[in-house]
Amino acid sequence: MSAVTASLCSTLMFVLFVSADQKIIKAESGQNVTLTCRAPNNNIRVLEWSRADLGSEYVLLYRDEHFLMDNQHPSFKNRVDLQDRQMKDGDVSLILKNVAINDTGTYECRVFMEETWQWQSINSTNLHVVPPGFNADMKYDLGPESVPCAIK
C-alpha cells in the first residue's frame, strides 16, 4: 500500500515537475517584455493569447491582420503588440508593454491553423513581475513539487 502511494506520489511529482518546466520570465514593473511563442508555420487563421484566470476575456486576438478588441481584457488595451505582425516563420510572440505586478500569471498562446482547421495550443509562459530593484531570484518559491503529497 505504501509502495503504491509512494509511486503514485512520485508520478504526480514528475508530471508537475515537467509542467513547472515551462518557460518562466521575470520582469520588473515598468518594463516591456516579450513572451515568445512559435507556431509550426505562418498559415495561421487566428492567434489568441490568453491567461486562464481572466476567464473569457483574452489578452490578444489577431485575425486577418487585425487586432480584435471586442472581448479583450481592459487592462491589456494599448499595451500588447506582436513581435512580427506578419508572423513570419510562425513567430507569434507577444510584446507586453509597461508590465505591472498584477500582470503576473501564466500566458498561453493558441493558434487556429489553416491546414488542420483546428486550435492548437503551443507552450505557455509564466510571467513574474516584481517591483523595480527587487531581486526576483530571491523570492518565488513556486514549490509545486511539494503539493501533491501534501494534498493526500
Ligand X SMILES: *[C@@H]1O[C@H](CO)[C@@H](O)[C@H](O)[C@H]1NC(C)=O
- Residue numbers of the site for ligand X (CB under 6 A)? 22-23, 30-32, 73-75, 97, 100, 102, 122-123
Closest separation in Å from C-beta 4 to ligand X: 30
Tell me how far, at minimum, the Cβ of 3 lies from ligand X, in Å: 31
Burial class (CB in 10 A: 0-12, 13-18, 19+), 1: exposed
| 10, 16 contact by CB (below 8 A) | no
Complex with ligand X: residue 7 or 98, whichever CB lies closer: 98
Closest to ligand X by CB, 8 vs 15, is: 15
Render 13-72 in DSSP notation, one character per residue: HHHHHHHHTSEEEEEETT--EEE--B-SSS-EEEEEEEEGGGTT-BSEEEETTEE--TTB
Minimum CB distance to ligand X, residue 41 (Å): 12
Q: Whose Cβ is closer to ligand X: residue 53's or residue 64's?
A: 53
